[in-house]
Amino acid sequence: VYQPEEKPTGPLALPHVSGQLRPDILARGGGYLPSKAEASEANGSGCMASNSGTLALFGYQLFGGAIVSPHAVQAMTDFGADLPNGDRYGMGVFDLTNLANGYGEPTVGNGGWDDGGYSSVLSVLPGDGIAIAVLTNEAGDPRQLVMPLAQQMAAVLR
């Protein structure tokens, strides 16, 4: 989602790639994180910038039925058959219940990374009314970087 009127304000978590800071990212991106080019090239995989509080609130409202109908939430979370790699995917969301170290109860959401230097996960435990968003400024597999932290937070919050 590209919203040009919403330039980021500090402090900013500048991205890291392979342990190297990208200090020129704001200048290269015209003052935006991610840059306009990065936000548009990824299509449905990425294309947005957020902070963890706003992302968690979005997940809480989305899976709580405040944004789309309960029927739409059910359709999104109808995971059907497993993917060849064992993941369970619905309409834009994964069944995160057993990924990484496992959440211990039904969990939905999505995670990913941007080669530009970010990794994130949104984990929602609908039965507990818990939504957790973990964002980092390091590129890499969210199952290793951010999902374990989200799982620890979920265990404490339950």
Number of folded domains that form the chain: 1
Instruction: Please report whether residue 116 resides in a domain.
Output: yes
| In a domain? residue 17 | no
Report the alpha-carbon distance of residue 156 to residue 153 in Å, rounded.
Answer: 5
Share of the chain above pLDDT 90, in %: 43
Pairing mode, strands 20-21 and 94-95: unpaired
Tokens of 132: 């957790």
- Mean pLDDT over each residue of the chain, to the nearest integer: 83
pLDDT digits (tens, 9 = 90+) for 38-55: 666 655 555 567 788 999
> Quick one: pLDDT at residue 19?
76
Higher local confidence (pLDDT), 37 or 112: 112
Phi and psi at residue 141, to the nearest 5°: -60, 120
| Sequence letter at residue 130 | I
Of 50-59, 90-99, 137-146, the range with the lowest mean pLDDT is 137-146
The predicted structure's pLDDT at residue 30: 67
CATH of the domain at 140: 3.40.710.10
The pLDDT score that the predictor gives to residue 18 is 76
User: Residue 7: is its pLDDT beyond 90?
Assistant: no
Average pLDDT value for residue range 26-46: 62
Residue 7 maps to a domain: no
Res. 120: pLDDT tops 70: yes
Range of the structural domain that residue 143 is part of: 51-157
Q: Which two tokens stand for residue 37?
A: 């080019």
Bigger pLDDT: 118 vs 90? 90
